[in-house]
Structure 1
Amino acid sequence: MTDTATPTLLTAWKAAQARLKEGRIDSPSIDARLLLEVAADCSRTDILTDPYRVVTTDQQSVLDGYVERRLRREPVSRILGRKGFWKIMLNVTPDVLSPRPDTEALLDVVLLHFPPHQAFEMIDLGTGSGAILLATLAERFGAKGVGTDVSSEALAVAKENAANLDLDSRATFLRTEWAAGFADDSFDLVVSNPPYIPSDDIDGLDPEVRDHDPRLALDGGPDGLTAYRELAPEIRRILRPEGIFAVEIGWDQGAAVKALFEAAGFTDVIVVKDLSDRDRVVTNGPDPRTNPIPKM
């Protein structure tokens, strides 16, 4: 029998969850599990099927340290140095935006437009960790792409993620501002998750974002639209005639960003909602809600 004072996977999880809940942390159960999995070198399945496995003193100490950091509003992705996005796992550092589920709405548009075996060329402008580019390449084996960023540190993270996912043969990365240096009509797909938070709103964001994501990846200028004014004509220039673009937007920016892309010469521009029913993507591609991805 295990001493009742000896922590197990189950009791350690419950205790960490209780501390996070008391500290008013969102999703305390999920956060506690993710932290425990790394601290105790276990999986979600282990916690469910082997709940009485003993947690060592060293493992408990690591978990306690993780919980203390989370209570100080450090995101789990920053504590662990990794974050899941779509179906891939990415390394994240303070130099890159931590990828969020909202951004997966871009993938819904892209994967609907490009069939599984189609060959195409794409570019991810402001790639950060490489999340959008690498998630697309992982789903579409005929695709190859480029990720650009002005941050050398971010590009180093993206390159490491590509190598870890065995996608470095189809993904290249370049330090440049948006699409500077690329020829006209170069890509079948252009994607971007640019900074779109109005400058004066950043200090009011949750601490997990305000204190831990790079400001360069958040600050969209006085009205949050600075990047889109730069991107719209550039995307129009580098996109092939039959190609599509998809850019992430803030929930209240749909009409404004749509107008900017129409002013740049695009037609059939639409605003796509995310799973929370908020405007999330501006694109000239298909709307997943009215054009569901066909079953293979």
Structure 2
Amino acid sequence: MGLTVQAIVRECATRLADVDSPLLSAQLLVGEVLGLSPLALSLERDMVLDTVQAGKIHDLTERRAAGEPVAYLLGRREFYGVDFAVTPDVLIPRPETEHLVEAALAHFPVEASLRFADLGTGSGILAVTLARLYPLAVGFALDRSGPALDVARRNARAHGVDQRIAFVQGDFTESVPCHGCDLIVANPPYVTEAEYAKASREVAAYEPREALISGPDGLDHVRGLLPKARNALRQGGVLILEIGCSQAEGVKFIMSSECPGFKDFVVTKDLAGHDRVVFMRRA
């Protein structure tokens, strides 16, 4: 007799004891193979799996035990209440990045006819979410990675906003080929080289390095981004950036000493109380 749902979840959780959230990981992987939500797994706990289902679950479990992130195994990650496709070509969305969306909502009403840009769009979570929340908005999403842009376009199509976002391949530290923006958002690489050296295997072995590291102090991309963003914003336009938890003063120094033309510098903390988002306005 084959394993029941309850038994294989328990078995997988035991195998995943050395990864974060072993039980949740087990439930997600089993649910993915069986097409069941965590609640449905509980209701169907006595269902017996066939050998094909059990084999697929064991394969996923071994990959997870080796450190492969659940988001890549499932091919999706939730952001701002909806699922987005993810692949190893893009950084896995983090909940902290939702603070950028909240900052935009705090400064622009949803009925605004926004012209926005998302620099370093990756999977497109920010561009697509802004387009979803602002039905009159048009956007511009830039990334240096062609495969990442393919994922972003896929997400835009899935959420019905692809006709309002222009996806362009390019490096935002070299050029931002748009102008007159009301809003620019960016979650640039901001991990220092020293921090990356201590990163978990789950991050270092699987997520794209170029989407994480930004030089010795984690601010190389900010130095390149600020002057290009300033030129792309209209007067009074807003720039919202995600930063590392100890980088607010460094970003403020770059803004004031190396890239004049901004004002109204404001720092917002994340739910853990760490500096996470900076807001500034083009003077």
TM-score normalised by L of structure 2:
0.92
Alignment match, 2:181:
187
Aligned-partner Cα distance in 1 for 2:4–2:269: 42
Equivalent in the alignment of 1:109: 103
The share of aligned pairs that are identical, in percent, is: 36
**Contact preservation (8 Å) 1:107, 1:136:** yes
> Comparing 240-249 with 10-19, which one deviates more in the overlay?
10-19
> Would you say 1:274 and 2:253 are equivalent positions?
no
Q: State whether residues 144 and 171 of structure 2, in contact with CA within 8 Å, keep that contact through their aligned partners in structure 1.
A: yes
CA distance in 2, matches of 1:12, 1:135: 36
1:212 maps to 2:212: no
- Counterparts of 2:220 and 2:11, CA distance in 1: 45
TM-aligned CA deviation for residue 20 of structure 1: 1.4
Q: Among residues 43, 60, 67, which one is paired with 2:61 in the alignment?
A: 67
Q: Aligned letter for 2:274?
A: R
Runs of 4+ in structure 1 off by over 6 angstroms are none
Q: Deviations over 1:160-207 (max 9, x none)?
A: 1111222111122001221725254x2111011111112243232011
- What is the match of residue 14 of structure 2? 18
Moved more, 53-62 or 249-258: 53-62
2:164 to 167, 170, 190: 170
Report SS of the residue matched to 2:272: coil
CA RMSD of aligned residues (A): 1.7
Q: Using the alignment, how far apart are the partners of 1:134 and 1:9 within structure 2?
A: 36
For 1:166, give the aligned amino acid: G
TM-score normalised per structure 1: 0.88
Give me the whole-angstrom Cα distance separating, in 2, the residues matched to 1:58 and 1:92: 25
Separation in structure 1 between the aligned mates of residue 66 and residue 178 of structure 2, nearest angstrom: 47
* Alpha-carbon contact 1:249-1:279 (below 8 Å) kept: yes
Among 125, 130, 136, the alignment partner of 1:142 is 136
**Any idea what the Cα deviations from partners look like across 1:78-118, whole Å, max 9, x if unmatched?**
21222111122122122111111121111111122222222
Question: Structure 2 CA distance, aligned partners of 1:71 and 1:124?
Answer: 34
- Aligned-partner Cα distance in 2 for 1:188–1:167: 19
8 Å contact kept, 1:258–1:271: no
1:291 corresponding residue in structure 2 = none
Q: Distance in 1 between matches of 2:82 and 2:138?
A: 17
- CA deviations over 1:107-141 (Å, ceiling 9, x no partner): 11112222222220110001111111112222222
Whether 1:199 aligns to 2:185 is no
Which residue in the other structure is 2:42 paired with? 48
Q: Counterpart of 2:121?
A: 127
Range that drifts further, 42-51 or 99-108: 42-51
